[in-house]
Structure 1
Amino acid sequence: MFVILVYDFAQKRVNKALKISRKYLHWVQNSVLEGEISNANYIKLKSELEMLMNPEEDSVILYTFRSNKYSRREEIGLKKGGDENIL
């Protein structure tokens, strides 16, 4: 499946959230990651982030798609993230 992850963590946990997320997805912009992920890794990613987060201060939004075949990605302005993220 293809996933877009958007997170907002308190400053003391934000670096850990990024480190966890980058194990599974590609960083494309501040607090935004995307990529193909297996069902098993999707469950692991969610579990790790839930263990880290304080639900009263932090949030995660996960958009899931069967594939990125029917999506279109357009970048305007400063490109962030690595070149390996080109879809």
Structure 2
Amino acid sequence: MFVILVYDFDTKRVAKALKIARKYLYWVQNSVFEGEISESNYVKLKAELTSIIDPNVDSVVFYTFRTQKYSKREELGLKKGGEEFIL
């Protein structure tokens, strides 16, 4: 499946969230990640983020698609991330 992840974490936890997200997806720009991911890794990603989130302060949004085939992506301005930045 193809996933777009957007998060907003408190500064105390943002580095941990970044490290977790980069294990599974490509960094696109500040707090935005995307990429193909297996169902099992998607479950692991959600579990890891759930373990650090403070639901009263932080937020995470997942957009899931069966495939990237029917999507279109346009960029304007500076390209900040991409596949070459995955850990």
**TM-score relative to the length of structure 2:** 0.94
Structure 1 CA distance for aligned equivalents of residues 68 and 82 of structure 2: 19
* Identical-residue share of aligned pairs (%): 71
| 1:27-78 deviation per Cα after TM superposition (whole angstroms, max 9, x unaligned) | 0000000000000000000000000010000000000000000001100011
1:12 aligned counterpart, secondary structure: coil
2:38 aligned with 1:7, yes or no? Answer: no
| Equivalenced residues, count | 85
Counterpart of 2:68 in structure 1 is 68
Q: Partner residue of 1:50?
A: 50
> Which residue matches 2:59?
59
Residue 82 of structure 1: how far off its partner (Å): 3.7
Note the aligned Cα RMSD (angstroms): 1.1
Inter-partner Cα distance in structure 1 for 2:49 and 2:62 = 11
Following the alignment from structure 2 to structure 1, what is the Cα–Cα distance between the partners of residues 68 and 83? 18
Q: Runs of 4+ in structure 1 displaced over 6 angstroms?
A: none
Aligned to 1:33: 33
Aligned residue type for 2:41: N
> Structure 1: 5+ residue runs without aligned partners?
none
Q: Secondary structure at the match of 1:34?
A: strand
**Offset at residue 81 of structure 1 (A):** 1.0
User: What is the TM-score normalised by the length of structure 1?
Assistant: 0.94
